[in-house]
Amino acid sequence: MFFQENGSHIWDTDEAKEYLDSFGVNATEEDGDNPFLHGLHWKHCDASQEFSQLSDVINKIKNNPHDQRIMLAACNPLDFKLSVSPCHTFTQFYVANGEVSCQIYQSSTEASIGIPFSIATYSLLTCIIAHVCDLGAGDFIHVIGQAYINKAHVKAIQKQLQISPKTLPILKINPEKKKMDNFEASDLELMRI
């Protein structure tokens, strides 16, 4: 799994998977990635037409920034019978005053891990999209249908609440990179101020 290979263990204890496994439902692939979620639908929404929603978003932002349909859908409802539906199901981008803003709808999420992870990843995605479109990054708006706390996380949450927040870092993106498909982790740098 990508996260584990890169030293992140945020999803090592996936209660949703453990819950489904207890009923004999195999919701994920062997390597931990569900093929019916997120990136697959962003890049190959309709395999018969090779439609990339992500490329469509970039194209619309660059060529028709006032389009009201600059959107990503992270799932196909027909896949729900095959696997668990993704938590963040819908993303919309809009351009105003030279900035790209992002709004996501997340049907459900674990409050202590899922919400911060979604904020960080979708904010990063917005910054990268803004960068490749030669625009600034605007607002991130997060709409949540259902937030919950897993019992297993209560002690960690109590510990987290005792820690003073740090100053937010500044994201520096390699100015040479201008296409979504060729970004690598080394093209992104978080700098403390």
Residues 54 and 99 in one domain: yes
Residues 68 and 115 in one domain: yes
As a residue count, the chain comes to 193
Residues 13 and 66 in one domain: no
Residues 137 and 43 in one domain: yes
Residues 24 and 69 in one domain: no
Condensed to tens digits (0 to 9), the pLDDT of residues 78-125 reads: 655 555 566 778 899 999 999 999 999 998 888 988 899 899 999 999
Residues 92 and 159 in one domain: yes
Range of the domain at 2: 1-31
Residues 27 and 39 in one domain: no
The torsion angles phi and psi of 39, rounded to 5 degrees, stand at -55, -40
In a domain, 190, yes or no: no
92: CATH: 3.30.572.10
What percentage of residues in the chain have a pLDDT greater than 90? 46
Look at residue 45 and tell me whether its pLDDT is greater than 80: no
Closest-CA residue to 141 (of 105, 109, 90): 105
Number of domains in the chain: 2
Average pLDDT along the chain: 80
Residue 110, beta-bridge partner list: 148
In a domain, 193, yes or no: no
Distance, CA of 145 to CA of 109 (rounded, Å):
8
Q: Position of tokens 């992500």?
A: 54
Q: Which residues are catalytic?
A: 87
In the prediction, which pLDDT does 83 show?
Answer: 55
User: Distance from first CA to last CA of the chain, Å, rounded?
Assistant: 32
pTM for the whole thing? 0.75
Residues 54 and 16 in one domain: no
